Structure 1
Amino acid sequence: MNENRWLEWTQRIQAIAQTGLTYAKDGYDLERYEELREISIAMMREQTGLPYAVVKELFASETGYPTPKVDVRGVVFQDGKLLLVREKSDGKWTLPGGWADIGYTPKEVAVKEIREESGLLVRAVKLLAVLDKKCHPHPPEAYYIYKLFILCEQIGGSLEAGLETSAAAFFAESELAGLELSLNRATESQIRLMFEYGRNPGKEVALD
């Protein structure tokens, strides 16, 4: 059985349980939805091997109507090369970015993440892609995630490591094969798609 199918089913069960716990009024229904949530936690534990408390906190602690989480990635070119940062958490390279923050627009998130992770000051120019993580070869993850890729241009600053990164540099597309990529954050095919936008600025927004 495809592991990603199990993940999709577990996410759907959790989402149904969370929706039911939000809107159900009958006590018996609430008990059933709570049991369904516990089943989803057990399924996720079986797949990940993580302790119950960790799975519940990461996967089944939210309330209200369930919606996808949003990951924002900044895309900066310099002389045909693309900005990548090396994450301290796994020692691998990726596009600068992270979770969207409450109170920030997507453009503001991209600008902030690039500054914090690479030292560059940029302005956000335009949206390049909105991708659904399930449609791409990322490792399995408990969250359901949309990924936004935003083109930015440098207006100042200089390359330097950040609190969550150990290095920042510009790479040509031909150099990707020699890099170990943080696939949970951005896949090689997604990074190559960004190079396509660098070569063809008029390319339409990619939308899953």
Structure 2
Amino acid sequence: METKWLEWAQKLQAIAQNGLTYSEGVFDIERYKQLRVIATEMITTYSNVEHSYVLDLFSREVGYATPKVDVRAAIFRDDTILLVKERADGCWTVPGGWADVGESPSEVVVKEVYEESGYQARAIKLLAVYDRDKQGHPPFPFYVYKLFFHCEIIGGSPSSSIDTEEVGFFPENSLPELSLGRVTPAQITRLFQHDRNPDFPTDFD
């Protein structure tokens, strides 16, 4: 029950967004705006985020509400995994980020690897498609699907970026502090299992 409030808030926000997209009646539009405010209040009540910040986030969402897509790369070398240190929180994650319109998931992950680590990569296999809310991540206002690709390095060299300050390879039993909003220890463990068992099918949900 501890994150049930987040599930309710996400659903209310989706209903409000969809209603504001398709409704034409003045009173209906006002009711959907009130729903969005209630969703905002639920999130700010149970988190340390400012009310105005969450309301602004929700207000920017237009059109039919669908899950956001976070695309991540699992790159291995000698039983170690590539991680980058995020400037935002000083913690480590596998390279990746939000999917962009006009680019396929594999194109996004290759771009993110290069931008965040300096390595040129090639996507080999889709390892997992996860519902973020079912993976033990900290609460987040929006509903998110996470795609993990197995990638291999084909060129480049390690370098920092506007988003990342360090790049390194780490063994499974000696991981740095992870950026839990982006990747969890359980996900890292599962990615290593996929690397050691290439015939594993793609995980989902």
**Normalising TM by the smaller chain, what interval?**
over 0.9
Q: Which residue of 2 aligns with 1:25?
A: 24
Matched, 1:188 2:185: yes
Segments of structure 2 that go 5 or more residues without pairing to the other structure are: none
Q: Residue by residue, what CA displacement relative to the aligned partner does 1:61-105 show, whole Å, maximum 9, x if unpaired?
A: 211110011100011111221101111111111100011111111
Q: Distance in 2 between matches of 1:22 and 1:59?
A: 13
Residues 14 and 60 in structure 1, CA contact (< 8 A), matched pair in contact too: no
Q: How does 1:113-192 map to 2 (within 5 A)?
A: 113-176=112-175, 179-192=176-189
Aligned residues: 205
Matched, 1:198 2:191: no
Q: Which runs of 4+ in 1 moved over 4 A?
A: none
Offset of residue 3 of structure 1: 3.3
Offset of residue 145 of structure 1: 0.5
Q: Quick check: 36-45 or 198-207, which moved more?
A: 36-45
Offset of residue 48 of structure 1: 2.6
Give me the CA root mean square deviation: 1.3
Q: Quick check: 25-34 or 127-136, which moved more?
A: 25-34
Offset of residue 37 of structure 1: 1.4
Q: What letter corresponds to residue 71 of structure 1 in structure 2?
A: D
For the residue of structure 2 that corresponds to 1:3, the secondary structure is coil
Segments of structure 1 that go 5 or more residues without pairing to the other structure are: none
State, as a whole percentage, how many aligned pairs show the same letter.
50
Offset of residue 50 of structure 1: 2.9
Residues 22 and 63 in structure 1, CA contact (< 8 A), matched pair in contact too: yes
Q: What letter corresponds to residue 191 of structure 2 in structure 1?
A: M
Q: Distance in 2 between matches of 1:102 and 1:23?
A: 23
Residues 36 and 58 in structure 2, CA contact (< 8 A), matched pair in contact too: no
Q: Residue by residue, what CA displacement relative to the aligned partner does 1:145-180 show, whole Å, maximum 9, x if unpaired?
A: 00000111111111222221111111111212xx21
For the residue of structure 1 that corresponds to 2:62, the secondary structure is coil
Q: Distance in 2 between matches of 1:131 and 1:12?
A: 18
Offset of residue 39 of structure 1: 1.5
Offset of residue 108 of structure 1: 0.8
